[in-house]
Structure 1
């Protein structure tokens, strides 16, 4: 059985390779990903086209190389933005408590009371399919979960004796949050970030697959999945290639998040070592 450390290292290596290949796509791609060649449409795997061609004669391998750029960039920016919104609200509510916390938690409960997928579909439907509307939909439907976790961590830390001592010595709330509280919850935030990246990538893939996210002819894995549906039986590799890429990236982020959670929680690691 593979240990968590080895699994995390393998996942990090796999993710790093995919990111590197996506960034270097303009230099290593053998064809233009949007180059149409109807005379060579739906070709099988060959020396000229390693992963065949799609219904428009575009090289699938080249589109796979380019396909990760939009998904990875959008999921990264959306996740970080979501984290920033939820982090700020969670820290403020957890530290100040009272009326401030009550007001912020009311907003959090409102957003959590609406099904996330329903809200995302509504936002994208009103604003129209585009990267901007997809980004906004992800941020608005995801920040509340971050906020609740951060709030709980801050509430536990701020009652620690060293925080009380710092407050008695006259330190300002801003100083305590920046110097003591935020560094103390950095590990939890990092774990949340990696795990949320996996979920965000799947959200983007789902909406783009439905035609509500990334729009053709942009080379994107989820768009490639949608385009390949009519040819599943005759050309299954058209769906397998982008599907494997999405699965690999999503699992890599999930495994990295689980590994970080174990490494950054000494008590949990001690219990695991005792059982072993």
Structure 2
């Protein structure tokens, strides 16, 4: 494994990998969203939730015990996410995806993040491994539930909990965010799609993920088994660093645009 600083020039072997790749998987984690101003999942709670850790709120048991408290926390986080913008790293991945599509290749975006920043940057996301905070489903019958955007401004903590709506399909269950809570399984369709993409890839980029949240952290190992080159982009060493071919130390918004520019991949839309 070769570890590089963002201040160094991009080595030609990394540039060559990016330039010649035609089937790329980009696996993104919380660090990428944090660059846009989205608080990471385990940051300090405020207001209604200051007595709780995120781990205490993100469970089926917590929702059953106090659905209004959990529902309002997620609605507030959704509003906060809506108030920030994709960063240059998100936009670079979107540009890379467009470039590869024009060349007859593909870039499969696989994210552990529940936000929609990749989509708002223009990326077609193959798999949200931990679900999406912008969609909702019934906690009982699992049918999708359409919910209007939250009225919060994303910065002011709501003064009171808000009751989740009833499911219009079954008339019994409560709407819940379509995210993966602790003790729940990852959506099989998303995980299978990510697995298939990595097994068909010729390059895997791991961006802004700690490499400790399973089973998502095991996905790059599928590329390792096949000898697919692995590149990590992260300011710090992670649980996956030791299996990487290259580890570039820096923020995605700095590294990805530089990497694409060095490989001659245009960053503008057209």
State whether TM-score is above 0.5: no
* TM-score interval, smaller chain: under 0.3
Please give the TM-score of this superposition, normalised by the length of structure 1: 0.23
Larger-gyration structure (1/2): 1
Please give the TM-score of this superposition, normalised by the length of structure 2: 0.24
